């Protein structure tokens, strides 16, 4: 090998060594810089060092997650403040992953990429989360405001009327669905700050429309006015004059039901002082039995029955029963079934 060739080889080797050393030095200098093309959650961090990337990621990746969420239901709004979400972000971990992606390939390929303006096509998944407890508690608070049991239609009787109370549908928040909606928005930095609650309507068992059918018959007794009123499907059918219990033997006030019916009833005389010599006796149907024609018992020996003492009608004269004219008690008896509610006031 000639002297010139040797010298040429020496220069070539030296040049290669210088080039390799320069490449190594360049790669060392740029190892703490994120490669162009690398993004975190779509945010460009290419060309940034760790300090610069931290500021950018905090501002553009983390802070958008820290926002209040408002849940709407009709005209109502419920807000979960951002400071209650306990946002947790691993910014250092995101930067480390971005730098690791930037070091992909050997030194020559990295140097060549950097000097020729090449890029790394890599999007790092944001490492941002929040505590589930506050969200669950928030949804529970909303449910506490929205949820209600359905209210059945019912009646509010008085001595003079039977007033219907309308039904009301219940409501139940779809808790799991709402939590999923909130999670979806909180995990999306570009998500909405408002979500709409979905609420199921719960139908009552007895609706206002079906209420009358639940009360085919209803009786009220107005002791002060000496009136018995018979309602059919909550509409007044007929009003009767009656006698009620005398002072000291008052017809019991309250709401009861017709519990037994008898034609030409036997009288089982209560074993009480007012009954005198008849106390505890059994009086069969007939002229000596004061329970004429019909009996509709409703409470502890008290009932509705006919009387031949028609002059007592419109007065307080009985020992607790409700007296009616014979023709009228028969008429009422024929249409009133066992179980008919009766309100006495």
Residue 230 annotated among the catalytic residues of the structure: no
Please report, for the chain, how many H helices and E strands are present, in that order.
8, 25
- Kindly write down the DSSP assignment for every residue of 103-125, as one continuous string: T-S-HHHHHHHHHHT----EEEP
State the sign of the Cα–Cα–Cα–Cα dihedral 48, 52, 57, 60.
negative
- Kindly write down the DSSP assignment for every residue of 287-326, as one continuous string: TT-SSEEEEEEEETTEEEEEES-GGGTTSEEESS-EEEEH
From 217, 230, 319, 321, active-site residue: 321
- Kindly write down the DSSP assignment for every residue of 230-272, as one continuous string: EEETTEEEEEEE-BEEPTTSPPPPEEEE--EEEESPPEE--SS
Q: What is the DSSP letter of 277?
A: G
State the sign of the Cα–Cα–Cα–Cα dihedral 284, 289, 290, 292.
positive
**Under 8 Å between Cβ of 142 and 78:** yes
Name which of 246, 200, 210, 229 is nearest 332 in CA terms: 229
Strands (E) located in 160-234: 161-165, 170-173, 194-196, 199-202, 217-222, 227-232
Task: State the angle between helix axes of 175-186 and 132-146 in degrees (0 to 180), rounded to the nearest 10.
Answer: 140
**Under 8 Å between Cβ of 304 and 286:** no
Residue 16 annotated among the catalytic residues of the structure: no
Catalytic (active-site) positions: 305, 321
């Amino acid at each position: 090998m000639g002297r010139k060739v040797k010298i040429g080889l020496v220069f070539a080797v030296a040049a290669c060594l210088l080039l390799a050393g320069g490449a190594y030095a360049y790669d060392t200098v740029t190892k703490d810089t994120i490669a162009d093309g690398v993004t975190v959650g779509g945010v460009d961090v290419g060309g940034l060092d760790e300090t610069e990337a931290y500021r950018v990621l905090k501002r553009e990746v983390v802070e958008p997650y820290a926002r209040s969420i408002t849940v709407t239901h009709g005209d109502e709004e419920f807000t979960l403040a951002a400071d209650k979400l306990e946002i947790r972000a691993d910014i250092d971990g995101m930067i480390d992953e971005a730098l690791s992606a930037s070091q992909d390939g050997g030194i020559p390929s990295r140097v060549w990429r950097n000097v020729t303006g090449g890029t790394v096509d890599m999007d790092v998944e944001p490492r941002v989360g929040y505590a589930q407890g506050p969200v669950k508690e928030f949804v529970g608070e909303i449910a506490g405001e929205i949820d209600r049991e359905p209210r059945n239609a019912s009646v509010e009787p008085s001595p003079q009327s039977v007033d219907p109370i309308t039904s009301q549908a219940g409501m139940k928040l779809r808790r799991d669905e709402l939590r999923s909606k909130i999670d979806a928005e909180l995990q999306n930095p570009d998500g909405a700050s408002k979500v709409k609650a979905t609420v199921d309507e719960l139908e009552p068992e007895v609706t206002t429309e079906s209420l009358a059918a639940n009360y085919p018959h209803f009786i009220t007794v107005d002791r002060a006015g000496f009136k018995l009123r018979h309602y059919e499907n909550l509409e007044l059918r007929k009003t009767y004059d009656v006698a009620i219990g005398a002072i000291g033997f008052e017809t019991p006030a309250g709401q009861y039901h017709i519990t037994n019916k008898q034609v030409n009833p036997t009288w089982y005389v209560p074993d009480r002082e007012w009954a005198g010599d008849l106390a505890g006796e059994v009086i069969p149907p007939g002229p000596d039995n004061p329970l004429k024609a019909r009996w509709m018992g409703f409470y502890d020996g008290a009932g509705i029955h006919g009387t031949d003492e028609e002059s007592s009608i419109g007065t307080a004269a009985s020992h607790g029963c409700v007296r009616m004219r014979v023709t009228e008690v028969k008429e009422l008896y024929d249409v009133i079934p066992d179980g008919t509610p009766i309100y006495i006031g």
